[in-house]
Amino acid sequence: MYRYDEFDRTFLADRNREFRTQVARRLAGELTEDEFKPLRLMNGLYLQLHAYMLRIAIPYGAITSRQLRQLGYIARRWDKGFGHWTTRQNIQFNWIKLVDVPDILEALAEVDMHAIQTSGNCIRNVTSDPFAGAAADEIEDPRIWAEVVRQWSTNHPEFTYLPRKFKFAVTGSLQDRAAIAFHDIGIRIVGGPNGTKGFRIFVGGGQGRSPYVAQEMKEFLPQQDLLAYLEAMLRIYNLHGRRDNLYKARIKILVNALGVDEYRRQVEVEWQRTRTEGADLPADEVERIRAHFRAPALADRPADFAALAAARSNDPEFDRWLRRNIFPHRHPDYAIAAIAFKEPGRPPGDATAEEMERVADAADRYSRGDLRVTYTQNLVLPHVARADLIDLYHELKEAGLTGGTPGLVTDVIACPGLDYCNLANARSIPIAQAITDRFADPQRAEEIGDLRLNISGCINACGHHHVGHIGILGVDKKGTEHYQITLGGEAGDDASIGTILGPSFPAEDVPSAIENIVGTYLASRTDGEAFLATYRRIGARPFKEALYAKR
């Protein structure tokens, strides 16, 4: 885990002092709202439907138990007792008072946290693999490079006023769990010649109004060249990006307008011109950062397999939890445990203060105080000894946190939607609740199998509807909330964008429509074939025919 040094702490304290003054000046009338708005946005503070919303950065989704406990404290003291995990591995508090924000930022700084780069046209919080440092299929810990990018991009004067926001994702494993194909720049750690490591770089992915799967920019970039190359990429974007048109300002539009080959050519020229200027970190600085992420020394802790087998056969819920919530760790005696904030009926990704505290306690007891936030709005305990799984399960169960199952139809990603968000067309949360209630029988959900269902309240796609195997998009149809359904999206390896199935549905018809789609899948699947594979094999037509036949 990266630990702040004195420089980081002083920087944050100065920044918080500055914002405290800005809030005071706003309240005293020395700043108008127009003057204040860009300042508050630089500190993660939005004004939403009912209140101010504070978005707090969780760099690459990595958080300690101490930090999580502090988030619980903030939820209880300054919000209505809960927070919301976001699809950028951050947390949002939805009921914040402007007058409290300087104190909240100070409380965050106490645990080395802040809300910088969670808004505005800058390089946003870098996302990464929530299994980083623990995954069995990892080549190198991606947090090292996510941290390098974070330090380079924080307050970078050249990239603080980009044409639009800019999102990075870094993954270091064989399986992409960071959706790198849907980022402005996606970085994949790969092996190179003679045992070296480097990066495969992707550019121009994204969701929103014009969704694109990222294209390959560079097949292999040596590690020592990362920052100068990224700087050249950003610089060409900064130069040509469409500042005149909000909808055309993202790098994905530029890359597609220029063509990736021409964009690459210009970047290479710029890179050759500037690579000696020193953006790249000296090797000892990379080593200093790398040292923060050194794998924890995990003692051998062989599990009692007889006890585990007995617990499994006595308790089908525990058995399911082991099957679905536990993932392989690189140490065979350990596992990665997912806590899905998704039991049927829960607003997806909402966590209460008490739950945050209970999970923090569990992390201390079973996962060396280490936790991760996933872009699917869940938490992960990355280093749990298999010998402790029964105890962990019981502890989480007592906290009401074993009812959510990752990867099933009930593990819905949903943005805040019209319940909170100023930009929304329609609500997301009640739709998610109605669907998860419909599929509440865990046995049935497991029979249906892997199915990613994502909901956004508007085309900005914070709920990743474009990459849901089933995607639901809220639209405004003559003043009423309607929902458009897409099929066939995928965020990971073999990424794709969903296709719109047909006319939209009113809210009350959405759960039956999903039921209908699932029905077509169940009737069409071959043995062991997951939803996406069936869809890719048979195409949209059978789904369309079944869904719209009655209309």
Which residues bind to ligand SF4, rule: CB under 6 A?
A: 415-417, 421, 423-424, 456-458, 460-463
Of 299, 341, 305, the C-alpha closest to 322 is: 305
**Beta carbon of residue 457, minimum distance to ligand SF4 (angstroms, whole number):** 3
For residue 522, the one-letter residue type is: L
Query: What does 197 interact with, of ligand SF4, other proteins, none (CB < 5 to 8 A by kind)?
Result: none
Sheet holding 350-352, edge to edge: 45-47, 52-56, 91-96, 82-85, 350-352
**Beta carbon of residue 521, minimum distance to ligand SF4 (angstroms, whole number):** 26
Query: What does 195 interact with, of other proteins, ligand SF4, none (CB < 5 to 8 A by kind)?
Result: none
How would you classify the pairing of strands 370-373 and 62-64?
antiparallel
Query: What does 163 interact with, of ligand SF4, other proteins, none (CB < 5 to 8 A by kind)?
Result: none
101, 52 contact by CB (below 8 A): yes
**Residue 172 vs 347, nearer CB to other proteins:** 347
**Beta carbon of residue 463, minimum distance to ligand SF4 (angstroms, whole number):** 6
**Residue 119 vs 352, nearer CB to other proteins:** 352
Residue 546's CB: how many other CB atoms inside 10 A? Answer: 16
Query: What does 44 interact with, of other proteins, ligand SF4, none (CB < 5 to 8 A by kind)?
Result: none
The binding site for other proteins (CB under 8 A) comprises: 26-29, 33, 47-52, 80-82, 94-99, 347, 350, 352, 418-420, 424, 426-427, 429-430, 433, 479-481
45, 96 contact by CB (below 8 A): yes
Q: Within 205-343, where are the H helices?
A: 226-240, 251-258, 260-274, 283-292, 305-314, 316-325
**Residue 349 vs 442, nearer CB to ligand SF4:** 349
Q: What are phi and psi of 149, to 5 degrees?
A: -65, -40
DSSP helix/strand/coil, 372? strand
**Beta carbon of residue 423, minimum distance to ligand SF4 (angstroms, whole number):** 4
Q: Which two tokens stand for residue 479?
A: 């003043």
| Residue 7 burial by Cβ neighbours in a 10 Å radius (0-12, 13-18, 19+) | exposed
Residues 66, 88: Cα–Cα separation, whole Å: 21
**Beta carbon of residue 454, minimum distance to ligand SF4 (angstroms, whole number):** 10
312, 318 contact by CB (below 8 A): yes
**Residue 85 vs 327, nearer CB to ligand SF4:** 85
**Beta carbon of residue 194, minimum distance to other proteins (angstroms, whole number):** 54
Query: What does 488 interact with, of other proteins, ligand SF4, none (CB < 5 to 8 A by kind)?
Result: none
**Residue 254 vs 414, nearer CB to ligand SF4:** 414
**Beta carbon of residue 193, minimum distance to other proteins (angstroms, whole number):** 53
Query: What does 427 interact with, of ligand SF4, other proteins, none (CB < 5 to 8 A by kind)?
Result: other proteins
Residue 305's CB: how many other CB atoms inside 10 A? Answer: 10
**Beta carbon of residue 188, minimum distance to other proteins (angstroms, whole number):** 36
**Residue 445 vs 458, nearer CB to ligand SF4:** 458
Query: What does 415 interact with, of ligand SF4, other proteins, none (CB < 5 to 8 A by kind)?
Result: ligand SF4
Query: What does 95 interact with, of ligand SF4, other proteins, none (CB < 5 to 8 A by kind)?
Result: other proteins
Of 196, 178, 183, 78, the C-alpha closest to 140 is: 196
For 444-461, letters b (16+ CB in 10 Å) and e give ebbebbbbbbbbbbbbeb
Query: What does 458 interact with, of other proteins, ligand SF4, none (CB < 5 to 8 A by kind)?
Result: ligand SF4
**Residue 180 vs 421, nearer CB to ligand SF4:** 421
**Residue 79 vs 395, nearer CB to other proteins:** 79
**Residue 463 vs 498, nearer CB to other proteins:** 463
**Residue 475 vs 538, nearer CB to ligand SF4:** 475
To the nearest 10°, report the CA torsion of 29, 34, 35, 37.
Answer: 100
Query: What does 480 interact with, of other proteins, ligand SF4, none (CB < 5 to 8 A by kind)?
Result: other proteins
For residue 420, the one-letter residue type is: Y
